[in-house]
Chain A
Amino acid sequence: MRSLVQRVLTSPAAGLLMVILLLGTILTLFAGAHVDRRTGQEVNNFLNSNTLVQTATDASFFAIMAVGATFVIISGGIDLSVGSVYALTGVTMALVLRALGPSSGLATVLIGLAISVSVGLVCGILNGLMVVGLPVHPFVITLGTMWILRGLAFVISRAESILVPASLTAMAKASLGLTASLYPVPMLMMIAAAILGMLYLERTVMGRHIFALGGNPEASRFAGLRLGRIQMGVFVVSGLTASLAAFLGASFYGSASCGDAAGYELYVIASAVVGGASLTGGKGSAISAMLGALLIVLIRQSIRTLHLDQNYEWIVIGCAIIIAVVLDQGSARVAARRLVAAPTGGTR
């Protein structure tokens, strides 16, 4: 039991969680307060249910994508096309639903979800096939598909912003018994995606194979792992999470356009990296990727809550990412030195 507690407390996720709590405390102290016009009560500008749920909602779309991207990063690859998969999924779903015309609320949600998953699946398979079949780094392949898929979204949508049926928005903005102005669905989906990702990565043989591939591809090959299948699988997961995020995003905001999620791939990768994923592969965590996304959104939020000039947003986020990566690489070097220095049969 003590060992379990110790493991939890010393895990990178616990560290991130504590940082988020610390940052939250700082924001609470410095945010100031206002009078809620509905209740007449004084509320803290940060520590109130609406802001907290809103922050989680803002993070949820790229946190869900970050869970999938973490699979790819752990395997030693990278997926730059997630933002474009998001845009293509959104406009395809919106166009198909518009063409189908009105149907019942549940049917609309199910059809929308099916279309989204299908688009994500196709995009993931496309990426996976090219990464496995062509002797080109995933960076280049997904850089190409990033433009191709965004272009497809542009062509089929004719650059229109396409409204989605109101029943989808009602689903994504369901208050689930909370105050009418709280919308917890994206946040819950984010948590569910992160838990599922964690269970897959850490509790299944297939998940361990992904770590093995990223940690040492040669050893994995000699161990008889089917590397192509694993690579295909991680890109499919990445496509699926991007499409799930798009389904939620288009539903929540009520429309989809070809410009959606432009540049989000960088936030997604940053979330995974801040969450401890190593770009050289073999390391990463779905839960930490979600926390990384939350932390990035919280940093963005803090710039506004603290009344700082928001023109500094990119600088601050850039600094945060560099700090995380530099320290991560330092960690890898220290670990390598310890491994060399350890006596035979040394502990991990």
Chain B
Amino acid sequence: MTEPRRAAPWALAALAAVLAACSGAPPSPAPSSGEASPAAAGAAGGKRKIKIALIAKSSTNPVFLAARSGAEAAAKELGPKSGVEIEVAWLTPPQEDGQVQAQRIAQAVNEGADAIVISCSDAGKVTGAINDAVGRGLSVMTFDSDAPQSKRFTFYGVDDLKTGQATMAELATQMGGKGKVAVLQGNQNAPNLQKRVQGVREEAAKHPGLEIVGVFPNIETPQDAAAEVIRVNNAYPEIQGWAMVGGWPLFTRTLLDEIDPKRMKIVAVDALPVELPYVEKGLAPVLLAQPVYLWGYVGVSTIVDKLVLNKTVPERIPMELVRVSKDNLGQWAQQLKAWGFSDVPEKYLQMGASPK
């Protein structure tokens, strides 16, 4: 008789079989080309194909989901134009983990990807894997958070130091150059966020009336971030402003009810649809938006430029921040809608349709 214990592994195997049955993978779609570079040469008699692995920091962060949308849109749009079939493989870990990102890079290489577009959770952890991938013939570019010591060919993103400075400068303006300020940092290990915080500090030093009461790291989920802001506000009732180097707590509506906009001002990086009511209410009079959709769109188009069109790509592609305030709220909402965000509130879209 088979004991239940013996059956356990087989039950797991059955689970695996179910997974396989659900698989969308083709049984054996190997191109027949014997060329050394599938991206450059393509399969004989078939359409040329390039596979791009997109590895963002976390698949639970909405800004990276926007990047994914951008990458997929670029693949759809640029594929026919450039005569290649572009596949975007989403290999983002469920939560931030540099080690897992390094594993995903190795996996992309082993599964025949031609290029990798990555936002690095921990540059130290992924540098070796990026260099291995480049050594095995892949083109790797970074976005959002760089690994400058690696052999990636380009970085696309904002200047983080300047972003931090701009955040603090806007907050200083909103607060009349005086008052006590807290800084929300996000993941302490992310080099891009560390740089932004450095920028915040540098800018704050230029305003003698401003005092930073603390820099507070947070788990980069909306609820955890909002809870951290509330905790800090309770512990430091004198806080009058928040400089947020990422918009995590504003991805919930929690703070709209918790904070009086007459008592406190927030300036944050990012401006996703869910954050727009903060601008309307005046609690976050200015948001500094990274066009996060473009992370993916420009990522894919840059890879196409390099691999297919053989264009020269600069080592750094600057991304410009968009200042979102009540003045351009409607236009920004329209832009978000055009980028494929489905949750843009209708009233903001109407503002954009009929500007004052």
Q: Which residue of A lies closest to B26 (CB)?
A: A32
Bound CA–CA A303/B15 (angstroms)? 12
Asked whether any CB of chain B lies closer than 8 Å to the CB of A200, the reply is: no
Is residue A208 within 8 Å, beta carbon to beta carbon, of the partner chain?
Answer: no
Which residues of chain A (1-57) have a CB below 8 Å from chain B?
10, 12, 15-16, 18-19, 22-23, 26-27, 29-38, 40-43, 45, 48, 50-51, 54, 57
Q: How far is the CB of A83 from chain B (nearest CB, A)?
A: 11
Residues of A within 8 A of B17 (CB): 26
The answer to whether residues A48 and B110 also contact, given A18-B9, A253-B98, A323-B12 and a CB cut-off of 8 A, is: yes
On whether the beta carbons of B36 and A22 are closer than 8 Å, the reply is: no
Do B25 and A307 touch (CB < 8 A)? yes
By beta carbon, the residue of chain B nearest A23 is B16
Nearest chain B CB to A235 CB, angstrom units: 25
Q: Which of B99-107, B168-176, B256-264, B348-356 forms part of the interface with chain A? A: B99-107
Chain A residues within 8 Å of B22, by CB: 306, 308
A162 within 8 A of B: yes
What's the nearest-Cβ distance from chain B to residue A246, in Å? 11
Known interface pairs A23-B13, A30-B20, A162-B124. Does A310 touch B189 (Cβ–Cβ under 8 Å)? no
Which residues does chain B contribute within 8 Å of A57, judged by CB atoms?
103, 106
| Contact residues in A for B4 (Cβ distance below 8 Å) | 327-328, 330-331, 334
A255 to B28 Cα, complex, angstroms = 38
Interface residues on A, range: 35 or more
Q: How far is the CA of A161 from the CA of B4 in the complex (A)?
A: 46
Which of A161, A260, A299, A301: most chain B CB closer than 10 A?
A161
Q: Is A344 at the interface (CB under 8 A from chain B)? A: no
**Chain A residues closer than 8 Å to B136, beta-carbon distance:** 37-38, 181
Known contacts A34-B31, A38-B137; A295 and B12 CB within 8 A of each other: yes
* B312 contacts A by Cβ under 8 Å: no
B224 within 8 A of A: no
- A171 touches B (CB below 8 Å): no
Q: Mark B93-119, 1 if CB is under 8 A from A, else 0.
A: 011111100110011011110000000
**Chain B 119-132: CB-based contact to A (< 8 A → 1; otherwise 0):** 00011111111001
Residues of B within 8 A of A324 (CB): 8, 11-12
B314 within 8 A of A: no
CB-based nearest A residue for B138:
A37
Q: How far is the CA of A304 from the CA of B99 in the complex (A)?
A: 17
With a cutoff of 8 Å between Cβ atoms, the chain B residues found around residue A331 in the complex are: 3-5, 8
Closest CB of chain B to A294's CB: distance in Å? 12
Pairwise interchain contact A34-B5, C-beta atoms closer than 8 A: no
Q: Does A197 contact B (CB under 8 A)?
A: no
Q: Which residue of A lies closest to B37 (CB)?
A: A37
Assess the A314–B187 pair: CB atoms within 8 A. Answer: no
Chain B: minimal CB distance from A72 (Å): 21
A260 near B99: Cβ-Cβ < 8 Å: yes
Chain A neighbourhood of B96, CB < 8 A:
259
Listed in ascending order, the chain A residues whose CB lies under 8 Å from chain B are: 10, 12, 15-16, 18-19, 22-23, 26-27, 29-38, 40-43, 45, 48, 50-51, 54, 57-58, 61, 154, 159-163, 169, 173, 181, 249, 252-255, 257-263, 274, 276, 295, 299, 301-308, 310-311, 313-314, 316, 319-320, 323-324, 327-328, 330-331, 334-335
Return 15 A-B CB contacts under 8 Å, by A number. A12-B5, A19-B12, A34-B38, A35-B38, A37-B37, A45-B111, A48-B110, A249-B99, A253-B124, A255-B122, A259-B98, A260-B99, A314-B94, A323-B8, A328-B5
